[in-house]
Chains A and B, each alone.
Chain A
Amino acid sequence: MPHKCTQCGREFKDGSTKILKGCPSCGGKKFLYVREAGRHDDVLEEKSIEEIARDTGEDVLEVREDRKREEIEVFERIESIRILAPGSYELNIEKLARSDEVVVGLEKEGRYMVDILSMARKRK
């Protein structure tokens, strides 16, 4: 017994993981679980899946995108300075106060410049 996309009617095999990321054809996020007996109802009765869902009162499965991971707070970052764009900086005051080690973050997360020399100095 398959799921059907409420937007375009595309059918997915039972247990298909494809639908978890939305319908690959139309990007729809809602899917109706159709019984084998009523599998072709949408075509035979010339209704959309959405209408069938409304008529039968069946629950529609809605897949949501994973919520984007929250930006890491400044004080939890590993870089002392982040260059957001040329001329635009964010300073991690806490890290700057704590150590002389300089790590520069570039734009968003995941790109770093490491000042090796600053890390080689013995602490006073």
Chain B
Amino acid sequence: MNLLVRTKQKISQFFNVFFGKRVCRIGIYGPPNAGKTTLANRIVRDWTGDAVGPVSEVPHETRRVRRKQDITITGKNGSSITFDIVDTPGVTTKIDYKEFIEYGLEKEEAVKRAREATEGVAEAMHWLREDIDGVIYMLDATQDPFQQVNIMMVGIIESRKLPILIVANKNDLPDASPARIKSAFPQHPMVAISSLEGTNVDELYEKMTAYFR
């Protein structure tokens, strides 16, 4: 099976090069600390055995956009898609170094992190403007989804006419409420997962093969 998938991947890569077809780029967007990099790591590990980047409980761990190319995932019915996964820094409207100091960072380091995080937001938005074909919008299911930044981001992605898959993450936590996430964005398909524990990611892969084509 694995060999078959790999052969298929090679053939599709060959055709992509030959006909100049660009691989679909799926961006993982969402507020800081939603678990974007944890999910990106899981997708990449499940399908290529590699990793994307480090994760941490301190917000804004990912401050540069990271891309992993040519990932092919196959659903149960055999349909597969090949895409690049783009892990982006958390998009937020306010960044304050004092927040990082609460996590035990030294002031100078916290100020630097705030600066890099701000540049990261700009970079994430730049990718969204230029290079993204589909979006996984990731939310922490234990948090209130009705925040201005989420409403605004989903609106921006909709206005670009990009397909959005809402992912309600952190369902391993007791106070997670995927229903609340669903009620916030009923117009888009949603999957409730735990990217840390890997719960329900198979359903996510199914939805991805069906939705991003």
Contacts and interface: CB of A to CB of B under 8 A. Distances in A.
B115 A78 contact: yes
Nearest to A115: B93
Contacts of B51: none
A109 B108 CA distance: 10
B94 A112 contact: yes
Interface in A53-85: 69, 78-79
Interface residues of A, number: 18
A114 interface: yes
A110 B115 contact: yes
Given A103-B118, A109-B114, 8 more contacts: A78-B119, A111-B95, A111-B96, A111-B114, A112-B95, A114-B92, A119-B125, A119-B129
B26 to A, nearest CB: 18
A114 B152 CA distance: 13
Q: Size band of the B side of the interface?
A: 20 to 34
19 contacts: A78-B122, A79-B118, A101-B125, A109-B115, A110-B96, A110-B114, A111-B96, A111-B98, A112-B115, A112-B118, A113-B94, A114-B121, A114-B122, A116-B125, A116-B156, A117-B152, A117-B156, A119-B126, A121-B129
Given A110-B96, A117-B156, A78 B121 contact: no
- Residue in B108, B115, B156 whose Cβ sees the most chain A Cβ within 10 Å: B115
Contact of A116 (B96, B115, B153): B153
Contacts of B97: 109-111
Contacts of B119: 78
Interface string B89-127: 001111111100000000010110011001101100110
B60 to A, nearest CB: 11
Contacts, number: 65
Nearest to B94: A113
B111 A109 contact: yes
Contacts of A110: 96-98, 110-111, 114-115
A120 interface: yes
A112 B114 contact: yes
B149 interface: yes
Given A109-B111, A113-B93, A122 B118 contact: no
B128 interface: yes
B129 A116 contact: no
A119 B111 contact: no
Contacts of A69: 108
Contacts of A115: 93
